[in-house]
Amino acid sequence: MPLEQLIAGDEAGADQEFLYTLNFGPQHPATHTTLRLVLTLDGETIVKAVPDIGYLHSGFEKLGEDLDFNQYITIVDRMNYISPFGNEVSWHHTVEKLLGLELTPRCKYLRTIFAELARINDHLLCVGANALDLGGLTAFLYAFNEKEKIYNIFEAASGQRFHPSFSRVGGLMNDITDDVVDLIRNFVKTFPKPHADVTRLLNRNRIFVDRTKGIGVLSKAEAINTSCSGPVARASGVVRDLRKDEPYLAYPELQGSFKVVCATAGDCYARYLVRMEEMIESVKIIHAAVENIPSGPVNIALNDKMTIPDKTATYRSIEGLIQHFELFMWNRQWEPPVDEVYGATETANGELGFYVVSDGGGRAWRARTRPPSFIHFAAFPALIEGHQISDVPAVLGSLNIIAAELDR
């Protein structure tokens, strides 16, 4: 978009020649991702911020109409690529709601554990990168050290570190082995120490607190009115967490093991604190879940004709082979009702929802995503106005804007 067009409607300082315009991004180390801000400045104070997005728009939702329910998982992975498994859970939660599937208890627990690991991963990146932007390299390194362990768990479970594409309609790609359980147990045991280290490094760090406290304040009314969700809304006092309010997967059975973390200040520091505490709650969920993983199959039964059979069944039994072809031939596949459904789960960034319209085929007619980053970034100009230009990284980091999810 040409610069003249963006600032054309700017009455705030049109006749005041001391205001000047600064282009922030699309390539800037503090944005971490590709987004652009056009800032109107009075000295170092931001009078107006106009976001310009779309640099990473790659038509994910159009692809969702072309790929089937299982194939689209690879695209969903790349939305919020910091916690891809959370997106997979959300997508298949909606698809299974459409198909009317009830998962096996084992699959529910495994998905819950991996979704919580993804949440910790996302919060670690957010907290670490936020600290890095504000000058705290040590906390960043501690956080990334732990992220590496989570990637190891995903690698052991699915064979992929970054984009596991692990979930399938009606189950998971494969069951996990005991090694994975050991890795998760080990992570649960060791994680509190580095978490406490980061807490001690940042919570009372003079520079960090000065640069985050009272910056980018989002009131409770504003948070609701601008549709914010997740840690951003909870840091403003909105007590809403889909894991408690609309429990899905194994959360109904794990209600006693975690609390909803909230703050009232609504500033960057509150958002940081909420994320730190949520990691502890996630560890509690994982701890409770990993010791109680039910036995039994991970996929729903073969004769339901919904899940991809494992390779043994495909190669050794005629039912398995038929089922395999039924799901992979583009004129067969699933037969969902001709209807539409909205399903949402609580991912690390907030409520990630999908609105799936089905025409009765194996591909979605429309796969609308409700991207939390997009909605949080819409609230960004109001948060930053009146603050200094050096506060831009602090506020951007605390909202955890992931541009791939922002633009899709």
Partner 1 sequence: MPSALETLATKFPGAYTTSVFRDNQRVVVPSDKAPAVLFDLLKCLKDVCGFDMLCDVAGVDYLNYPNATDRYAVVYALTNTTSGERLFVKALANDPDPALPSVVAFWQGADWMEREVFDMFGIVFTGHPDLRRILMPTEFAAHPLRKDYPLRGRGERHNFPTITRSES
From the list 133-141, 171-179, 201-209, 334-342, the region that binds partner 1 by CB under 8 A is 334-342
- Which residues from 86-125 bind partner 1, rule CB under 8 A? 97-98, 100
Name which of 319 and 359 has its Cβ closer to partner 1.
Answer: 359
Q: How many residues bind partner 1 (CB under 8 A)?
A: 51
Is 94 in a helix, a strand, or coil? Answer: helix
Sign of the CA dihedral running 245, 249, 253, 258:
negative
Segment near partner 1 (CB under 8 A), from 22-30, 85-93, 178-186, 339-347? Answer: 339-347
391 versus 407: smaller Cβ distance to partner 1: 407
Residue type, 177: T
Query: What character string, x for contact with partner 1 (CB under 8 A) and - otherwise, covers 58-77?
Result: -x-xxx-xx-----------
Interaction between residue 260 and partner 1 (CB under 8 A): no
Binding mask 362-401 for partner 1 (x = CB under 8 A): ---xx-x-x---xx-xxx----------------------
For residue 79, which of 268, 397, 396, 347 has the smallest C-alpha distance? 347
218 binds partner 1 (CB under 8 A): no
**Out of 340, 385, 388, 389, the residue judged to bind partner 1 by CB under 8 A:** 340
State phi, psi for 19 to the nearest 5 degrees. -80, 140
Question: Within positions 129 to 168, which residues make up the interface with partner 1, using CB under 8 A?
Answer: none
**Residue 49: which of 22, 19, 17 has the closest Cα?**
22
* Residue closer to partner 1, measured from CB, 11 or 17: 11
Instruction: Out of 84, 86, 164, 353, name the contact with partner 1 by CB under 8 A.
Output: 353
Residue with structure tokens 């309609």? 169
Three-state DSSP class for residue 384? helix
Q: Which of 396, 400, 361 is nearest to 381 (CA)?
A: 396
227-260 burial string, b = 16+ CB within 10 Å, else e? bbbbbbbbbbbbebbbbeeeebbbbebbeeebeb
- Asked whether the CA dihedral 359, 362, 367, 372 is positive or negative, the reply is positive
Cα within 13 Å of Cα(392), Cβ side: 27
355 counts as binding partner 1 under rule CB under 8 A? yes
Q: Which of 16, 225 has the CB closer to partner 1?
A: 225
Residues of the shown chain interacting with partner 1 in the complex, contacts defined by CB under 8 A = 1-2, 5, 9, 53-54, 57, 59, 61-63, 65-66, 97-98, 100, 222, 224-229, 238, 240, 245-246, 337-342, 344, 351, 353, 355, 357, 359-360, 365-366, 368, 370, 374-375, 377-379, 407-408
